Amino acid sequence: MKLLPTINTPADIKKIPIDRLDDLAEEIREAICAQVQKTGGHLAPNLGVVELSIALHYVFDFAHDRLLFDVGHQCYPHKLLTGRLGKLDKLRTSEGMSGFPEPRESEYDLFTVGHAGTSISTAVGMARGDTLAGEAFDAAIKPDGRRVVSLIGDASIVNGVAMEGLNNAGTLRRQFLVVLNDNGMSIAKPQGAIARYFDRVRLSNLYTDLKRQAARVLDRLPGGSMVEEAYHRAGEATKAMITTDSWFEHFGLITVGPVDGHDVRSLIEILAESRDFDRPMVLHVKTIKGKGFGFTEDDACAFHSPAAFNMQGCRVEMKKKGRSFTAAFGDAMVDLMQRDERIVACTAAMPDGTGISRVLPLFPERAWDVGICESHAMDMMAGLAKTGYKPFFAVYSTFLQRAFDQAFQEVSLQGLPVRLCLDRAGLVGGDGAVHHGFCDVALLRALPGAALTAAIDEPSLIAALEFMRSYEDGLSAVRYPRDNVSERFTGQECPPFELGKARLLTGDAESADVAVLAFGTPALDAVRTAEALAVEYRVAVWDARFAKPVDHVLLRSLLERRVPIITVEDHGVTGGFGAAVVEAAAEMGLDASRVRRLGLPDHWIYQDSRDSQLAEVGIDQAGITRAIRNAVDSVAVETNVAPVQLGRGAAAAGSVAQ
């Protein structure tokens, strides 16, 4: 009988004989792989934590205890163990299971988590809150109190926020368990000195006996008496695993391990003993990313978050999806770096996801992956700019938020020309709210001297990067979506980017009934809309190109002629390109009452296909069509001219007559 369908709550796991838990692990792996094969999703990181997830739920009661996830893409086994098997077949859609922890789905998910390094700090907060409320576990006073567990992995332990969390975790005087899922990987190969330290630990097989090395621990560890007390309460299995030269001991955390993360019986034994420690502890668990399938173990980077794929016997074929903006960017960077020796590039643990993987092997002295450390990356780029180099930082729009302070202080305030290449800008589809790039323009537009651009296709991306290469007056950025590049304008010459100048894509600027100013790829849907409505209306569509500075000359011309303007962007309406247009009109003392803004609304957009999300917020072709018709209808009411008479240029005539 299959075990997985019988699990409605984690309590059902405890009813399964321990010798059958490996069968449960195999069923979970098969279920996850079969689904990701159809829909895409995070595969390798979830395959690596199956036994660990089973053991955690077997030992703890997370309906009562606290489980905090880091880099939430390792949560699929947890979700299946908490009664969500029925949502798996609609993974990453509005009707199914989110690919990240999601409190709307289950009481077992405490935070919506999509960024790295956060779990230790949020866990410290919950530990302190439970202590203040008198609900914390205490073996002597409150044995039924809440325990707290932070599960951190995929090399996010190197993140600066994780360091800050560890620094504070060591001051706790209560049970607090950090489970380090050490799979020797990040999203890509982990980088830096800490990663090399864990490599040495994994190779050294440190299974030491505390009795032989207690003196060293107590001599080196601040508050060594805490270790001594904890040791007296520890079981024999845990004592034998305490590591005496751990990096974590300097934070005041007892360290156990490394232990085998795929031996579920041993994991249960170690967790059962360590759960009652009344001092902070790190359990160092060695796992294999992609465990269970040869193709995922052999190439965990490619199968970290693959698109849908086909299995042909032992051979795996990725489904073709066309040429992505990411691939186009990677090739463009190779060309730029070949032509300009002053260009340097970096990414923060996303070499494949940003396309920097294409330049890393070609320019090993001028390109870097710094690991999951966006803040460091921004400051490093500032340092390179200060020495006269031309830095390009490739980062997901949503992860740029983690480096905004550095963009402000070390880049913009210094007037340094750091160049940001913002992949996954706008709506991202199945990854949902945690990964939408909806506020990069709003953040960066506040920085004096910033030049903010967007690409609509590959030629315009290349042109934007060339503009940024020569822009020396401050920070610059280009944004582009998680999508394929369009070939709609490939046959036409792409004019160079000129600071604050838009590009007319279709229509007559002088006789337009409606003007659409589109920032980024929504321009393509705007062009299709204009062509579909050509019999009814004269619609002029501009590729706005810049959200800062916007094209003041164009705006003045349209606003003074009272032409209705529709702005459209794959970004929040709050602080975005449309807001910049309205602000520019106010600065020029012009009436902006005929400006209508389309963009992401002031509420969260959850997981689904990107096309469905675009339709939901009304920035697809249908939404732009509605906006154009509404604009014409409004002019008709304003000018007392029947809508049917306003087509083909009459709107402009009506406004003149007014």
Question: ∠ at Cα 98 (347, 191), nearest 5°?
Answer: 25
Query: Quick check: 566 and 631 in contact, CB under 8 A?
Result: yes
Strand order in the sheet with 546-548: 367-369, 343-347, 390-396, 419-423, 476-479, 451-454, 546-548
Q: How far is CA 250 from the centre of its chain?
A: 31
Asked if 402 is an active-site residue, the reply is yes
Burial of 491 (0-12, 13-18, 19+ CB in 10 A): exposed
Distance of CA 570 to the CA centre of its chain: 16
Comparing CA positions, the residue from 484, 475, 485 lying closest to residue 448 is 475
Tokens in use for 99?
């690919």
The strand ranges marked E within 219-350 are 254-260, 280-286, 309-312, 315-318, 343-347
List 374, 410, 458, 569, catalytic entry:
374
* Three-state DSSP state, 282: strand
Q: Looking at 402, 501, 545, 562, which residue is catalytic?
A: 402
84 is catalytic: no
Q: How far is CA 362 from CA 200, 313, 331, 354, 356, in A?
A: 28, 35, 12, 16, 10
Q: What is the Cα–Cα distance from 608 to 432, expressed in whole angstroms?
A: 7
Active site residue 51: no
Q: What are phi and psi of 511, to 5 degrees?
A: -115, 20
304 forms bridges with which residues in the sheet?
A: none
Question: Distance between CA 412 and CA 424 in Å, rounded?
Answer: 23
C-alpha distances in angstroms, 389 versus 332, 344, 381, 405? 18, 7, 9, 21
Q: Which of 79, 92, 279, 289 is catalytic?
A: 289
The closest alpha carbon to 228, from 208, 271, 239, belongs to: 239
Contact in structure between 221 and 247 (CB atoms under 8 Å)? no
Give the other-Cβ count within 10 Å of 216's Cβ: 15
Compute CA distances 607 → 427, 460, 611, whole Å: 10, 29, 11
* Contact in structure between 377 and 347 (CB atoms under 8 Å): yes
Q: In sequence order, which residues have a C-beta less than 8 Å from that of residue 200 and are 6 or more positions away?
A: none
Tokens for 529? 């809309």
Quickly count: other Cβ atoms within 10 Å of residue 447's Cβ. 18
Active site residues: 289, 374, 402
